[in-house]
């Protein structure tokens, strides 16, 4: 890990908290140091201390036992540690990171929940103590989207951002679209393949993507929203049947994270969306992630790659470590200023005020006047119909599926209409709504 042959003065003391999937990947990348790393003059890291939960677990790569501790606070307090790398995702992460920043130590983390929910406090703390807090791995792992938004696209006003930010759900929707089964089948398959956690809630509910979107919104739009301010709907209600209808209409269904400028505020939402099947994001398959950014100067750009995994995530962590070390060697002060939201901070638009097109699917009794009844409800909410598909009588007990695609409508109106349609006598079961995005 040392880069002695370049004759640097002093290595940077690194304290690692967490030596699991990502932490072990970071150690491996630093130990194997490719030429691209060795060529960097100031890149000279010395691993001083490593915190884990269980000292008895076998480790690969192996580390000297005296480096390991079960007390993360020891890592933060170690006077030989100048750079703390937090890779646990554990609840006390806020305490460890804030204490490190308070001591003026730089921090690199991959912890999206920490940044999405408590970023404001941490960035303020970093600025106050002249420390840096870097977090490239927290969104889309190895895809350098944070660095691109903060640096490469700094001369742009970001107009919109569409992301597939969760690999688990993208894998599941891809498998459903390939006929691998319905939601429960593909969830089990994703768990067997190691793409989904035993408790998949954060992924399938959209919350993981919402936290990532909140982080991107802070950078791209100077937006105050946390993960909880992002409207969030998961993929739990998506059925293979919806994917088939989408295909008939020329669309694919993706769990999209969407952020757009809207009259001085920002739309920020995560939900399943129908996207045209020839759109770039419709063709991001399996566990891959992608982000499409519309910049005022550069126009559209798409970033794509693996959004999780040991080495892709470690790659982003090491990139942050290198940038920090080089910035310090050049005598630069903390770079966190752009992450602090001042008086020009932008708020999130309530979902009720957002306008888009909708796909509505209902199962109705095959009798005269049903379509007229639904059309009347939509008209009362000032929602106009773009097209209607009525299938043959091929479903349960003489009922037929009816699919309606609307023109642009307000979400609040659409929700009212959804409730009213559900009360019609001829309507059976739930009224399914899927939002449509033309990208
Ligand atoms: N995995 C990915 O693909 C990925 C992608 C992007 C971001 N991230 C983020 O990266 C972070 C780490 O994820 P991961 O997948 O590497 O997790 P992981 O495999 O579960 O590893 C967690 C590590 O943290 C240690 N740890 C947990 N609680 C601790 C405590 N109280 N004190 C000290 N050490 C503790 C564990 O120790 P033991 O080894 O002893 O159990 C383990 O080494 C999370 O914030 C995650 O959201 C992960």
87 Cα to the center of ligand 1, angstroms: 5
Given a contact cutoff of 8 angstroms between Cβ atoms, the answer to whether 235 and 256 are in contact is no
51 Cα to the center of ligand 1, angstroms: 11
20 Cα to the center of ligand 1, angstroms: 5
User: Nearest Cα to 318, choosing from 144, 64, 185, 177?
Assistant: 144
Given a contact cutoff of 8 angstroms between Cβ atoms, the answer to whether 73 and 92 are in contact is no
Spell out the residues 6+ positions from residue 32 whose beta carbon is closer than 8 angstroms to its own.
none
pLDDT confidence of residue 333: 85
Given a contact cutoff of 8 angstroms between Cβ atoms, the answer to whether 87 and 23 are in contact is yes
Ligand 1 contact, 77 CB (< 6 A) = no
Kindly list the catalytic residues.
212
Distance of alpha carbon 10 from the chain centroid: 37
Ligand 1 contact, 424 CB (< 6 A) = no
pLDDT confidence of residue 5: 38
The pairing of strands 83-86 and 385-390 is: unpaired
**Among 17, 87, 320, residue to substitute to test ligand 1 (most atoms within 8 Å of Cβ):** 87
**Residue with structure tokens 């409800």?**
377
Ligand 1 contact, 305 CB (< 6 A) = no
Ligand 1 contact, 261 CB (< 6 A) = no
3-state secondary structure the chain: CCCHHHCCCCCEEEEEECCCHHHHHHHHHHHHCCHHHHCCCCCCEEEEEEECCCCCCCCCCCCCHHHEECCHHHHHHCCCCCEEEECCCCCCHHHHHHHHHHCCCEEEECCHHHHHHHHHHHHHHHHHCCCCEECHHHCCCCCCHHHHHHHHCCCCCEEEEEEECCHHHHHHHHHHHCCCCCHHHHHHHHHHCCCCCCCCHHHHCCHHHHHHHHHHHHHHHCECCCHHHCEECCCCCCCHHHHHHHHHHCEEEEEEEEEEEECCEEEEEEEEEEEECCCCHHHCCCCEEEEEEEECCCEEEEEEEECCCHHHHHHHHHHHHHHHHHHHHCCCCCCHHHHCCCCCCECECCHHHCEEEEEEEEEEECCCCHHHHHHHHHHHCCCCEEEEEECCCCCHHHEEEEEEEECCEEHHHHHHHHHHHHCCCCEEEEEEEEEECCC
Ligand 1 contact, 362 CB (< 6 A) = no
**Among 89, 92, 112, residue to substitute to test ligand 1 (most atoms within 8 Å of Cβ):** 89
Closest ligand 1 atom number to CA of residue 90: 28
- Return d(Cα 435, Cα 411) in angstroms, integer: 9
Per-10-residue mean pLDDT, the chain, length 439: 48 97 97 89 93 96 95 98 97 98 98 96 96 98 97 96 98 98 97 95 98 97 93 97 94 98 95 98 98 98 96 97 93 89 91 97 90 96 94 69 96 98 94 96
Q: Give Cα separations from 306 to 108, 168, 253, 353, 414 (angstroms).
A: 20, 11, 19, 34, 35
90 Cα to the center of ligand 1, angstroms: 7
Distance of alpha carbon 168 from the chain centroid: 11
Ligand 1 contact, 165 CB (< 6 A) = no
For domain 4-142+311-339, the CATH superfamily is NAD(P)-binding Rossmann-like Domain (3.40.50.720)
**Among 22, 165, 307, residue to substitute to test ligand 1 (most atoms within 8 Å of Cβ):** 22
Domain positions in the chain are 4-142+311-339, 153-306, 352-436
Closest ligand 1 atom number to CA of residue 112: 47
CATH of 153-306, one of 3.40.50.1000, 3.40.50.1950, 3.30.360.10, 1.20.1630.10: 3.30.360.10
Closest ligand 1 atom number to CA of residue 25: 16
111 Cα to the center of ligand 1, angstroms: 9
Ligand 1 contact, 38 CB (< 6 A) = no
Closest ligand 1 atom number to CA of residue 114: 45
69 Cα to the center of ligand 1, angstroms: 15
Domain spanning 352-436 has what CATH number? 3.30.70.260
Query: Residues for the chain: how many in total?
Result: 439
Q: Give Cα separations from 353 to 299, 356, 408, 409 (angstroms).
A: 26, 10, 12, 10
**Among 15, 17, 24, 53, residue to substitute to test ligand 1 (most atoms within 8 Å of Cβ):** 53
Ligand 1 contact, 54 CB (< 6 A) = yes
User: Nearest Cα to 305, choosing from 424, 153, 137?
Assistant: 137
The pairing of strands 299-306 and 288-295 is: antiparallel
Residue 76: half-sphere exposure toward Cβ, Cα within 13 Å: 20
Using only the alpha carbons of the chain, give its radius of gyration.
24
Ligand 1 contact, 69 CB (< 6 A) = no
- Return d(Cα 305, Cα 212) in angstroms, integer: 16
How many CB atoms within 10 Å of residue 116? 27
Ligand 1 contact, 71 CB (< 6 A) = no
pLDDT confidence of residue 3: 40
Q: Supply the pTM of this predicted model.
A: 0.95
17 Cα to the center of ligand 1, angstroms: 8
Contacts 24+ apart (CB under 8 A), 81-84: 81/13, 81/14, 81/15, 81/48, 81/49, 81/105, 82/12, 82/13, 82/14, 82/106, 83/12, 83/13, 83/14, 83/15, 83/45, 83/107, 83/108, 83/321, 83/324, 83/325, 84/14, 84/15, 84/17, 84/108
363 Cα to the center of ligand 1, angstroms: 45
């Amino acid at each position: 890990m040392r880069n002695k042959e370049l004759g640097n003065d002093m290595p940077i003391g690194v304290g690692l908290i967490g030596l699991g999937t990502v932490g072990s990947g970071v150690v491996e990348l630093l130990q194997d140091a490719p030429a691209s790393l060795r060529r960097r003059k100031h890149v000279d890291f010395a691993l001083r201390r490593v915190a884990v939960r269980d000292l008895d677990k076998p480790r690969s790569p192996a580390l000297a036992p005296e480096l390991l501790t079960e007390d993360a606070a020891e890592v933060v307090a170690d006077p030989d540690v100048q750079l703390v790398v937090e890779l646990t995702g554990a609840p006390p992460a806020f305490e460890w990171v804030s204490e490190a920043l308070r001591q003026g130590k730089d921090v690199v983390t991959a912890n999206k929940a920490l940044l999405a929910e408590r970023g404001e406090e941490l960035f303020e703390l970093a600025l106050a103590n002249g420390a840096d807090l870097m977090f490239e791995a927290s969104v889309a792992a190895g895809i350098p989207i944070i660095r691109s938004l903060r640096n490469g696209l700094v001369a742009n006003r970001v107009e919109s951002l569409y992301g597939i930010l969760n690999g688990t759900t993208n894998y599941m929707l891809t498998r459903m679209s390939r006929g691998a089964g319905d939601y429960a089948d593909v969830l089990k398959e994703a768990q067997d393949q190691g793409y989904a956690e035993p408790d998949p809630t954060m992924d399938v509910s959209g919350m993981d993507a919402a936290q990532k979107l909140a982080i991107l919104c802070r950078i791209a739009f100077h937006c105050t929203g946390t993960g909880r301010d992002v409207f969030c709907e998961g993929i739990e209600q998506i059925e293979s049947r919806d994917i088939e209808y989408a295909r008939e209409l020329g669309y694919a269904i993706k769990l999209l994270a969407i952020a757009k400028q809207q009259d001085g505020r920002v739309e920020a939402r995560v939900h399943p969306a129908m996207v045209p099947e020839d759109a770039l994001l419709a063709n991001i398959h399996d566990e891959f992630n992608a982000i499409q950014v519309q910049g005022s100067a550069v126009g559209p750009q798409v970033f794509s790659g693996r959004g999780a995994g040991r080495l892709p995530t470690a790659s982003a962590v090491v990139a942050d470590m290198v940038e920090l070390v080089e910035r310090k060697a050049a005598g630069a002060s903390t770079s966190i200023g752009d992450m602090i939201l001042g008086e020009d901070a932008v708020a999130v638009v309530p979902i009720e005020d957002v306008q888009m097109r909708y796909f509505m699917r209902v199962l109705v009794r095959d009798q005269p006047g049903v379509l007229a009844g639904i059309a009347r409800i939509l008209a009362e909410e000032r929602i106009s119909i773009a097209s209607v598909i009525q299938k043959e009588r091929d479903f349960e007990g003489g009922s037929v599926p009816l699919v309606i695609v609307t023109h642009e409508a307000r979400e609040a109106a659409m929700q009212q209409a959804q409730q009213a349609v559900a009360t019609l006598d001829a309507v059976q079961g739930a009224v399914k709504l899927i939002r449509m995005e033309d990208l």
